[in-house]
A and B are shown apart, each in its own frame.
Chain A
Amino acid sequence: MTGSSQRGTQRRSLAVSAAPSRLTRGLILGIVGAVFAIPIIAMIEFSFRDGLSGGYTFTHWTGLLDPDSAAKFRSLTTGLTNSLLLAAVTVGVVLLLLLPTMILVQLRFPRLRRVLEFICIIPITVPAIVLVVGLAPVYRFLGGIFGSSIWTLAFAYGITVLPYAYRTLQSNLGALDAITLSEAARSLGASWPNVMWRVLLPNLRRGILAASFISVAVVLGEFTIASLLSRQNLQTAILLISKSDPYVAVIFALLALLLVFLLLLLIGRVGSRRPGAPRRITTRKQTREQTPKPDLTQGVPS
Chain B
Amino acid sequence: MTNRQGAAVELTDVTKSFAAHRALDGVNLTVAPGEFIALLGPSGCGKTTALRALAGLESIDSGSIHIDSRDATDHPANKRDLGMVFQSYSLFPHMTAAENVEFGLRMRKVGAADRRRRAAAALEMVGLSGHLERYAHEQSGGQQQRVALARALVTEPRVLLLDEPLSALDAKVRVQLRDEIRRIQTELGITTIFVTHDQEEALAVADRVAVMRDGRIEQIGTPEELYRQPATAFVAQFVGLSNRVDGTIEGETVMVLGQRLPLLRPASTPDGAATVLIRPEDISLSAADSTNTDLLRGRVLSSSFLGSLRRSQIQLPDGTVLAVQHPVRDDPTPGSEVALTLALVAVAVERPQLNSGHPLVV
**Which chain A residues have a beta carbon within 8 Å of chain B's beta carbons?**
176-177, 180-181, 183-191, 194, 198-199, 202-203, 205, 276-279, 281-282, 285-286, 289-291, 293-297, 300-302
Is B44 among interface residues, defined by CB-CB distance under 8 A? yes
B92 touches A183 (CB 8 A): no
In angstroms, Cα B43 to Cα A293, docked, is: 11
B144-181 vs A: 1/0 string, CB under 8 Å? 00001001100100000101100111100000000000
Residues of A contacting B44 in the complex (Cβ-Cβ under 8 angstroms): 300, 302
Is B66 among interface residues, defined by CB-CB distance under 8 A? no
Residues of A contacting B168 in the complex (Cβ-Cβ under 8 angstroms): 289-291, 293
B26-55 vs A: 1/0 string, CB under 8 Å? 000000000000000101111111001001
User: How close is B120's CB to chain A, nearest CB, in angstroms?
Assistant: 18
In angstroms, Cα B76 to Cα A191, docked, is: 9
Residues of A contacting B164 in the complex (Cβ-Cβ under 8 angstroms): 296
Residues of B contacting A177 in the complex (Cβ-Cβ under 8 angstroms): 88-90
A181 touches B107 (CB 8 A): no
Q: A188-B103, A302-B44 are in contact. Are A289 and B141 (CB under 8 A)?
A: yes
A189 touches B92 (CB 8 A): no
Which positions 54-85 of chain B face chain A at CB distance < 8 Å? 55-58, 76-84
B167 touches A276 (CB 8 A): no
Contact of A185 among B43, B103, B136, B141 (CB under 8 A): B103
B137 touches A189 (CB 8 A): no
Given pairs A183-B77, A188-B103, 4 additional interface contacts (CB within 8 A): A187-B55, A191-B78, A286-B89, A300-B19
User: How close is B38's CB to chain A, nearest CB, in angstroms?
Assistant: 15
Which positions 74-122 of chain B face chain A at CB distance < 8 Å? 76-84, 86-90, 92-94, 103-104, 107-108
In angstroms, Cα B23 to Cα A53, docked, is: 84
A290 touches B88 (CB 8 A): yes
Q: Shortest 8 CB-CB distances between A and B: which pairs?
A: A282-B137, A188-B104, A189-B107, A184-B90, A187-B84, A289-B141, A186-B77, A277-B94
Residues of A contacting B227 in the complex (Cβ-Cβ under 8 angstroms): none
Residues of A contacting B135 in the complex (Cβ-Cβ under 8 angstroms): 276-277, 282
8 A-B residue pairings within 8 Å (CB atoms): A176-B93, A180-B88, A185-B92, A186-B78, A188-B152, A282-B137, A301-B23, A302-B49
Residues of B contacting A286 in the complex (Cβ-Cβ under 8 angstroms): 88-89, 141
In angstroms, Cα B55 to Cα A191, docked, is: 15
Identify the closest chain B residue to A282 (Cβ). Answer: B137
B21 touches A300 (CB 8 A): yes
In angstroms, Cα B141 to Cα A141, docked, is: 57
User: How close is A90's CB to chain B, nearest CB, in angstroms?
Assistant: 27
Q: How large is the interface on B (under 10, 10 to 19, 20 to 34, 35 or more residues)?
A: 35 or more
Residues of B contacting A181 in the complex (Cβ-Cβ under 8 angstroms): 90, 92
In angstroms, Cα B318 to Cα A301, docked, is: 43
Q: A187-B55, A187-B82 are in contact. Are A203 and B23 (CB under 8 A)?
A: no
In angstroms, Cα B152 to Cα A236, docked, is: 58
Residues of B contacting A300 in the complex (Cβ-Cβ under 8 angstroms): 18-19, 21, 23, 44
Residues of A contacting B290 in the complex (Cβ-Cβ under 8 angstroms): none
A188 touches B45 (CB 8 A): no
Q: A278-B137, A285-B137 are in contact. Are A187 and B83 (CB under 8 A)?
A: yes
Which positions 250-293 of chain B face chain A at CB distance < 8 Å? none
Identify the closest chain B residue to A175 (Cβ). Answer: B93
B48 touches A296 (CB 8 A): yes
Residues of B contacting A290 in the complex (Cβ-Cβ under 8 angstroms): 88-89, 141, 168
Residues of B contacting A188 in the complex (Cβ-Cβ under 8 angstroms): 78, 83, 103-104, 107, 151-152, 155
Is B308 among interface residues, defined by CB-CB distance under 8 A? no
B108 touches A183 (CB 8 A): no
In angstroms, Cα B93 to Cα A276, docked, is: 9
Residues of A contacting B151 in the complex (Cβ-Cβ under 8 angstroms): 184, 188
Residues of B contacting A183 in the complex (Cβ-Cβ under 8 angstroms): 55, 57, 77, 84, 86, 90
Contact of A301 among B49, B79, B167 (CB under 8 A): B49
Identify the closest chain A residue to B57 (Cβ). Answer: A183
B86 touches A180 (CB 8 A): yes
Residues of A contacting B86 in the complex (Cβ-Cβ under 8 angstroms): 180, 183-184, 297
Residues of A contacting B93 in the complex (Cβ-Cβ under 8 angstroms): 176, 203, 277, 279, 282
In angstroms, Cα B84 to Cα A180, docked, is: 11
In angstroms, Cα B44 to Cα A60, docked, is: 74
